[in-house]
Amino acid sequence: MKYLNTLLFFATGFLFSQCKTTSTDQSSIPYPDPKPDSIPLIFLKGIASADSLDFNANFSNDGQSFFFSRNTNGKTHIYASIYDGKAWGQPQMLSFCEQEFSEADPFITPDGTLYYISDRKKDNSDTLADYDIWCVHPQGDGKWSAPENVTAVNSDSTEYYVSLADNKNLYFGSNRVGGSGTLDIYVSRFIDGKYTTPENLGPLVNAPETDYDPFISRDEKLLIFSSSKRKDGFGKGDLYYSKKDADGKWSRAKNLGSRINTNSYDFCPHITRDQNYFFYSSDNDIKWVNAKYLPIE
């Protein structure tokens, strides 16, 4: 499927150094200048946004490391730029990445666990060429546990993009059987220490077209995601949002508008934990804008 193959690199997203777990609101992030206002700017041009396909955005809990995905030579890997107290350094590929496979879509939880997706094999008997959700746990001294397949949420199809609310409910995109479109958005709820069978978010969020790259807010009341081929879209892929009401139902998805969306692919949404900035990916670069200018009603 031509579009799905393209999406592997446009929508797919550990640490080069140890991720500290203090200050989980990321209030100490040394954001670079110039900082954006209402007009999106390219983030860390020449560093995180360079002469390659760069996408995703996530900070370590101490705010001193910036993580993103970079596609070169047909493979995607996760990189980190480290702040040395004066400037953001040139990115380094994270040590767990394997050249044979692709890794992308890093998401860091308040306890330092890092979720991501990869097409690496579960074991020697795995012959499926699909992406699964994986995670690693910090072990101290910059070391990490062995990659762990999050089997409760994975299927024989592809899983994309990971985002967790503070209650650990996990949102992701998948082209598994039973969806309403080429790709749909799902949630797996964290109950009694375990992830439940993923649930489709339904027709008010998922269209008959293609929906992917979900970002869920910390309180699980706001969902921002990407969608392609909708009639109200501005380009190849647009960013949309939906809000959860008091009864736990999602509102009908709305386009984020032309200030954010372009005639290209706009994907990989993320709001920083300090709520200050909205990041997304477009035209091969990572972009950011002041979150207070998001046109969310």
pLDDT tens figures, 200-241: 999 999 999 999 999 999 999 999 999 999 999 999 999 999
- Burial string for 256-272 (b: 16+ CB within 10 Å, else e) reads beeebbbebbbbbbbbb
Amino acid identity, position 290:
N
Alpha carbons 27 and 23: distance in angstroms, whole number: 7
Task: Give residue 5's pLDDT.
Answer: 43
Alpha carbons 75 and 98: distance in angstroms, whole number: 10
Task: Give residue 24's pLDDT.
Answer: 63
Residues 275/284, Cβ–Cβ less than 8 Å: no
96 torsion bin: left (phi>0), alpha (psi -120 to 50), beta (else) = alpha
Take residue 143 and report the two structure tokens written for it: 């070391």
Residue reference for tokens 């990115």: 91
Domain count, the chain: 1
Task: Give residue 138's pLDDT.
Answer: 79
Q: Which of 245, 244, 215, 219 is nearest to 227 (CA)?
A: 215
Alpha carbons 93 and 16: distance in angstroms, whole number: 7
Task: Give residue 142's pLDDT.
Answer: 63
Task: Give residue 140's pLDDT.
Answer: 73
CA-CA distances (angstroms) from residue 45 to 8, 34, 68, 71, 255?
23, 11, 13, 16, 27
H helical segments located in 43-135:
none
Task: Give residue 46's pLDDT.
Answer: 97
Neighbouring C-beta atoms of residue 236, cutoff 10 Å:
16
Per-position pLDDT tens, the chain of length 297: 333 444 443 444 323 333 333 446 777 899 999 999 999 999 999 999 999 999 999 999 999 999 999 999 899 999 999 999 999 999 999 888 889 999 999 999 999 899 999 999 988 777 788 999 999 887 777 677 889 999 999 999 999 999 999 999 999 999 999 998 899 999 999 999 999 999 999 999 999 999 999 999 999 999 999 999 999 999 999 999 999 999 999 999 999 999 999 999 999 999 999 999 999 999 999 999 999 999 998
Domain span at residue 197 reads 2-293
Q: What is the CATH number of the domain that holds 170?
A: 2.120.10.30
